[in-house]
Amino acid sequence: MLRQHSSARNMRSSAARKSVALGCIIAAILGLPAMRADAARDTLAGDIRLELSPRICTLAADDKQCEARVHAMWRSAREESLCLVIVDHPQVKRCWEHFSNGTYTIELVFSEDLIFQLKDPDLQRVLTSETLRVIREAIRYRHRRRQPWNIFD
């Protein structure tokens, strides 16, 4: 009886191995290359980090524009060839060939949010982006509805 049980277990194990092998072959034929390309693209974009300093420009109530020295810093786990651009400012472009990090500093005058993008060298694909936000300062003090010294209200 023990022999039959052992023999049945071996047959089930063999069948399981065959079905796993068959499943791997079918997956490789049907979809694995496409999944690998998608994963590689996601990994590529996910490995690149872009940081801006400052990240926010606060305008006072009477200010019209921000004036700031902006530092853009990027890093990657591997060497990349890419370009830093600012959306709607085609005159600003800085490219690197086969680097794993880079910095760029620029003096800017602006009144709206700026979007910094790291793109491939052909400027066709955005790898990552960050936004330098403009925040307009609200009026700090407002009139109270009643005076604090009025004891009848």
- At 100, the pLDDT band (50, 70, 90 cuts) reads very high
Tell me what the mean pLDDT of segment 78-84 comes to.
94
Q: Which option is the CATH number for 47-136: 3.40.50, 2.40.128, 1.10.10, 2.60.40?
A: 2.60.40
% of the chain surpassing 90 pLDDT: 50
ω into 33 cis (within 30 of 0): no
List CB contacts of 51: < 8 A, sequence separation 6 or more: 72, 73, 74, 130
Q: How far is CA 93 from CA 4, 49, 82, 106, 119, in A?
A: 75, 18, 10, 11, 10
| Domain extent listing, the chain | 2-30, 47-136
Query: Which segment, 3-7, 26-30, 140-144, is predicted with the most confidence on average?
Result: 140-144
Tell me what the mean pLDDT of segment 11-40 comes to.
45
Output the pTM of the full model.
0.61
| Closest to 52 in 3D by CA, of 135, 131, 112, 127 | 131
% of the chain surpassing 70 pLDDT: 59
Inform me whether the pLDDT recorded for 75 exceeds 60: yes
Lowest-pLDDT range of 2-11, 31-40, 54-63: 31-40
Inform me whether the pLDDT recorded for 43 exceeds 70: no
**φ/ψ of residue 30, rounded to 5:** -85, -40
pLDDT of residue 60: 86
